[in-house]
Structure 1
Amino acid sequence: MFALRLLLISIFVCLLSPSSVSAQVLKAYTEEWPPYNFIRDNKLVGVSTDILKAVCADTELKCDMQLVPWTRAYKTVLETPDTMIYTISRIPLREKQFVWIGPILPRSMWIFARADVAAKIHTLKDIANFRIGAIREEASLSELLEAGVPSSSIQIFNTNTDEMRMLKAGKIDIVANTEIGMQQNQKTFGIPDKAMKRMMKLNDGAALYFGMNINSNKDLVAKLQASVDKMKREGKIDAIVQQYTKAK
């Protein structure tokens, strides 16, 4: 009887342990990066957001998704078990910082230049002669620096909105983005198609993921990865992408 009572107490304690409880509510932090994650009609939407919503429904998890500046999202998830950051590029610099769930989407990062300076850009080195925008802690900033672009040529912003407003105002000449990311930004911020030129690839070796704190519950991580894999097999991720990229 005593042994049975101890067993029941042990089970009860395990059920109340932080890892078990936190596995039931997933806090996910993201930035504004259309069409992957952005606010529309006062709701957080986007390709990656909709994928995560579907994963949460499939795994019967309650997911609390918040849009915050990227630096805050990054710091919070680095410090807090059972939390997620998205949409995040898996690059060598970050490899040991997170547990990776995905890939969820491909990633090709391009250099985009204002049309009035594009004729003067022939190689990646040439962009150092112009005003380049980048977002703090983003992979593209690291890739620009690794490519030899001097930091003195780069203006760093806290959010995508800050960067795009400066681009539209003519305060910067160059940004890095994916093709669908730039297309959506130009549409959102009223930058004409002809105002920007796609120049050259900055990086084509990474992919986009959900990133979890490295001390997150392993069962939770496995459950999320299995759901992402299932969505891929069933074509659900491709269907979500089409909803945001089809011509309207």
Structure 2
Amino acid sequence: MNGYFNVDEISQIQRDEMYSKIVLFVFSVLLLPVITMAAEINMQVIIYPPLAYEVDGELQGVAPEVVREIQAMVGDTNPIQVAPWLRAYEQTKNKPKQALFAIVRIPEREELFKWVGPIFGEGDYFFKHKGSPIIVNTLDDARKVKRIGVRKDGYTHQALLAKGFTNLDVGPTYDSSYKKLADKRVDLVLMGERTYYYMVKEAGVDPAGFERTNYQFNHSAAWLAFSRDVPDELITQWQTALDTLKANGKYEEIMARNFNAD
């Protein structure tokens, strides 16, 4: 090689450079809607220990930790903000560019959101006040009690309504239901067998005062929910990242770190 290019070689190099620039430009344009959307999404988390909780003002738990790991993988820099349940639920359902972490995926909600997950699952049982004579071996047994505490538009509220329950005591928060059960103002509360300890304790109620009944109502799973306008490409990105976390052991580390009742 003599250190010089002839005209044909220069033309080929220029054509290659131009082709590379065109490919890069087209690729960037195709990704632009996803990147722009990701940069603007309002990401909200609901306090639901150990899935999400605060320690000295710092947001911790399975949901925010999983989300941050995914964000690092997909290049998302949106802040995660704590939000009250009803506001976050209504915004994600009705407004564009919204996300809600984490929410139980049930048929009644299927078409309201786009989903990434699951990030957690557990069996759901009716709990009673410890020492209560109430026996719940079937769903009909639960129908016979006077009051079952539920959070307005929460998973248990919607799921029990779908089963035709009319004996529901509807409150603004799960905490209010736990306190009512502790005070014997409701007969039952439907709770997860793994999360109830943390939720009840967070509400300032002694978990030892509650007793699980025998009937498993459901096996529920918590998912990351996005408003319907979020592009499918972004949902696929997030799902692939979550699957990777589960495959490489990061997800199990997060679970072990947060599910420690001691």
TM-score by length of 2: 0.79
Counterpart secondary structure, 2:186: coil
How many angstroms does 1:79 deviate by? Answer: 2.5
C-alpha distance in structure 2 between counterparts of 1:40 and 1:149, whole Å: 37
C-alpha distance in structure 2 between counterparts of 1:44 and 1:64, whole Å: 11
C-alpha distance in structure 2 between counterparts of 1:186 and 1:33, whole Å: 10
- Residue 41 (structure 2) pairs with residue 33 (structure 1): no
Q: Which moved more, 1:157-166 or 1:56-65?
A: 157-166
**C-alpha distance 36-220 of structure 1, shift in aligned 2 (>3 A):** same
How many angstroms does 1:107 deviate by? Answer: 3.3
- Residue 160 (structure 2) pairs with residue 144 (structure 1): yes
C-alpha distance in structure 2 between counterparts of 1:65 and 1:165, whole Å: 29
How many angstroms does 1:182 deviate by? Answer: 0.5
Matches within 5 A, 1:1-248: 20-128=35-143, 129-150=145-166, 153-199=167-213, 200-204=215-219, 206-248=220-262
Give the share of equivalent positions with the same residue, in percent.
Answer: 24
**C-alpha distance 118-220 of structure 1, shift in aligned 2 (>3 A):** farther
C-alpha distance in structure 1 between counterparts of 2:34 and 2:72, whole Å: 20
Counterpart secondary structure, 1:96: helix
For 1:175, give the aligned amino acid.
V
Counterpart secondary structure, 1:24: helix
For 2:244, give the aligned amino acid.
K
Residues 51, 237 of structure 1: 8 Å contact kept: yes
C-alpha distance in structure 1 between counterparts of 2:203 and 2:93, whole Å: 31
Structure 1 residue runs without a partner (length 5+) = none
For 1:219, give the aligned amino acid.
E
For 1:138, give the aligned amino acid.
G
Q: Which moved more, 1:111-120 or 1:208-217?
A: 111-120
Aligned length: 237
Output one character per residue of 1:101-148: Cα deviation in whole Å (capped at 9) or x when no partner. 112222322211112325444432233323211111222212212333
C-alpha distance in structure 1 between counterparts of 2:234 and 2:207, whole Å: 43
Counterpart secondary structure, 2:132: helix
TM-score by length of 1: 0.83
Counterpart secondary structure, 2:149: strand
How many angstroms does 1:247 deviate by? Answer: 4.5
C-alpha distance in structure 2 between counterparts of 1:133 and 1:229, whole Å: 35
Residues 43, 80 of structure 2: 8 Å contact kept: yes
Residues 92, 227 of structure 2: 8 Å contact kept: yes
Q: How much is the aligned-residue C-alpha RMSD, in angstroms? A: 2.7
Larger-Rg structure: 2
**C-alpha distance 98-189 of structure 1, shift in aligned 2 (>3 A):** closer
Counterpart secondary structure, 1:117: coil
Residues 122, 193 of structure 2: 8 Å contact kept: no
Counterpart secondary structure, 2:54: strand
Structure 2 residue runs without a partner (length 5+) = 1-17
Counterpart secondary structure, 2:99: strand
For residue 3 of structure 2, what is the aligned residue in structure 1? none
Q: Which moved more, 1:25-34 or 1:226-235?
A: 25-34
Counterpart secondary structure, 2:108: helix
Residues 25, 62 of structure 1: 8 Å contact kept: no
How many angstroms does 1:52 deviate by? Answer: 1.0
C-alpha distance in structure 2 between counterparts of 1:178 and 1:64, whole Å: 28
For residue 14 of structure 2, what is the aligned residue in structure 1? none
**C-alpha distance 169-68 of structure 1, shift in aligned 2 (>3 A):** farther
